[in-house]
């Protein structure tokens, strides 16, 4: 019997599927501005020098490939706690587990919410990263959306967000927040807006699940954590999902963390035991290498200093490219004002391009961006900026 003959083909992943199409495209001037990966001026996704040095040391010093504990490498977990939370909260209220990437962290968090806190649902911004609803649904966590993007598609609509939270959520619901570099819009709340969000989250008794995948890509390491700290100052409990994919460039090493903040040490320990039970039944324990690299960098003052310089270079390059895009669009002389991109933060910019314009860019110019109009600014290139802007101006005609 062939039971597999009836299995239907799954649709390609909206973002990674585009990269497959890009790889097959024969256009010599093609440009992939879809997937969220940083590229340097030569078009490569570099290995940071601090990472290379940490790896050299690991090759010399590593003495075993034995399993890590279910929650990962203790030194990595301690460094992530310090990096993300500083000394805002006592360490005995925070359980940090090393996970396979930020995606793994989100999945563990979703499993935890479903198994421990049901009935529960999670409110996500509209729009959000396409994998958020996919991961949550796969874990059986019901999803709802709150408004985020203004009707002009270029600004944050705080009033609409707060109205939805006040009128639609129930006490005990979870709310997904992007700590910085909102994906896909690049539009983050201001410090004052974070205060209002925090007040509403606390008043509505919502449990924040904070996705912090881009620390260091917005305004700086500490600056990017400010919104998170504002939220944590008004609630007793939260879950934070972090990733070293972007800020350490460790995409393929799959290293991230889920951090649970509880009201006191006893509650933290009980929840920590449940998180470990979830991991044990899923991937058992995380891979070592990525966590060992991050720990080696952050435990060494010199490597940490080098990392901060390299991270700052990536951050500034993205800002330069965003500015250059806006300038070059202006210089096409067709009255295209993209200055609304300037306050946007992180790898992505929400261009306002329509689905049809996006399709035209792909079919006629070999320029690949996501259907929502989200552009990976970190994939742009100084040399190809003029041809990119000429193509965009053409589809806007």
The footprint of ligand PLP (CB under 6 A) covers 36, 101-103, 129, 183, 211, 213, 243, 245, 251, 256
> Which residue's Cβ lies closest to ligand PLP?
101
Burial code (b: 16+ CB inside 10 Å, e: under 16) for 219-241 equals: bbbeebbbbbbbbbebbebbbbb
Q: Strand, coil or helix: what is 90?
A: coil
Residue partners of 86: CB distance under 8 A and separation at least 6: 222, 225, 229
Q: Is 13 a catalytic residue?
A: no
Which residue lies nearer to ligand PLP by CB, 103 or 372? 103
Which residue lies nearer to ligand PLP by CB, 32 or 245? 245
Greatest Cα pair distance in the chain: 65
- We find the least distance from the C-beta atom of residue 359 to ligand PLP, in angstroms, to be 23
Place of tokens 């075993």: 64
Which residue lies nearer to ligand PLP by CB, 102 or 208? 102
Q: Is 264 a catalytic residue?
A: no
Which residue lies nearer to ligand PLP by CB, 213 or 278? 213
Contact 179, 159 (CB under 8 A): no
Distance between start and end Cα atoms, the chain: 57
- We find the least distance from the C-beta atom of residue 340 to ligand PLP, in angstroms, to be 21
Extract the tokens encoding 347: 């790898």
Q: Is 194 a catalytic residue?
A: no
Cα-based angle 114, 116, 122 (whole degrees, multiple of 5): 40
Q: How far apart are CA 161 and CA 149, in angstroms?
A: 9
- We find the least distance from the C-beta atom of residue 249 to ligand PLP, in angstroms, to be 11
- We find the least distance from the C-beta atom of residue 104 to ligand PLP, in angstroms, to be 7
Select which of 39, 71, 123, 129 is catalytic. 129
- We find the least distance from the C-beta atom of residue 129 to ligand PLP, in angstroms, to be 4
Select which of 164, 246, 307, 362 is catalytic. 246
Which residue lies nearer to ligand PLP by CB, 251 or 338? 251
Select which of 211, 224, 307, 362 is catalytic. 211
Distances (CA, A) of 280 to 70, 71, 271: 6, 9, 14
Q: Catalytic site residues? A: 129, 211, 246
């Amino acid at each position: 019997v062939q039971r597999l003959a009836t299995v239907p083909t799954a649709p390609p992943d909206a973002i990674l599927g585009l990269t497959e199409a890009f790889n097959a495209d024969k256009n010599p001037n093609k440009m992939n501005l879809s997937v969220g990966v940083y590229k340097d001026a030569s078009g490569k996704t570099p290995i940071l020098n601090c990472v290379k040095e940490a790896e050299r040391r690991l090759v010399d010093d590593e003495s075993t490939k034995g399993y890590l504990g279910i929650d990962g490498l203790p030194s990595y977990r301690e460094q992530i706690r310090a990096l993300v939370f500083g000394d805002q909260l006592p360490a005995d209220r925070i359980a940090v587990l090393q996970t396979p990437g930020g995606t793994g962290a989100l999945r563990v968090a979703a499993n935890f919410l479903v198994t421990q806190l049901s009935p529960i649902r999670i409110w996500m911004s509209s729009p959000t990263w396409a994998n958020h609803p996919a991961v949550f649904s796969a874990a059986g966590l019901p999803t709802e959306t709150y408004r985020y993007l203004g009707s002009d598609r270029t600004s944050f609509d705080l009033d609409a967000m707060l109205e939805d939270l006040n009128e639609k959520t129930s006490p005990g619901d979870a709310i997904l927040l992007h700590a910085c570099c909102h994906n896909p819009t690049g539009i983050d709340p201001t410090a004052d807006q974070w205060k209002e969000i925090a007040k509403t989250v606390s008043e509505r008794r919502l449990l924040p699940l904070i996705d912090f995948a881009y620390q260091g890509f917005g305004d700086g390491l500490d600056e990017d954590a400010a919104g998170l700290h504002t939220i944590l100052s008004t609630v007793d409990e939260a879950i934070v999902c972090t990733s070293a994919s972007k800020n350490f460039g460790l995409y393929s090493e799959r290293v991230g963390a889920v951090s649970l903040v509880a009201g006191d040490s006893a509650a933290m320990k009980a929840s920590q035991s449940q998180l470990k039970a979830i991991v044990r039944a899923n991937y058992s324990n995380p891979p070592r290498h990525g966590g060992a690299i991050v720990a080696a960098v952050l435990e060494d003052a010199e490597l940490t200093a080098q990392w901060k310089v390299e991270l700052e270079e990536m951050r500034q390059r993205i800002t330069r490219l965003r500015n250059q895009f806006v300038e070059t669009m202006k210089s096409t002389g067709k009255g295209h004002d993209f200055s609304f991109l300037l306050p946007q933060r992180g790898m992505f910019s929400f261009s306002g391009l329509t689905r049809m314009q996006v399709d035209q860019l792909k079919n006629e110019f070999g320029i690949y961006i996501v259907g929502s109009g989200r552009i990976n600014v970190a994939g742009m290139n100084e040399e190809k900026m003029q041809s990119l802007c000429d193509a965009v101006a053409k589809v806007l005609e």
